[in-house]
A and B are shown apart, each in its own frame.
Chain A
């Protein structure tokens, strides 16, 4: 293994996998309970948590360079700008019937 690489142990991989399984079960289970607006909030929070776990440990982002971090998270920031500004259009339209 190269000096720049970081060895993530098999135990860590298994722990992350189990956490992802639990979160999957939770997100499906919670979907069947009526929590109003919180359904969407919880669902997105769980999805972001799962994605972050895959990014940090499965994709080794936790041990990667700052430059890699920039590319990894920068794309989501740019996407966020796309969604925010597009929604600011749609959500401020008044329908003329």
Chain B
């Protein structure tokens, strides 16, 4: 089950969540099945949110890395060697 979880993309999970909610909204299902669907739906929603959280964290980290590299107060060492006066 864990391996299957890693392969599923956000789009896949989201699609399944949509389908689940659509079936619940349709109604006419036995109680047990409704409950099972609801449980599955909430699990899918949780996983979606988790993926979004992970993406947001990654973006923040990447941004920070670029800002750090481009900071003018700390030029890379190679540059200062070239500019030595004769």
The answer on A and B forming one complex is: no
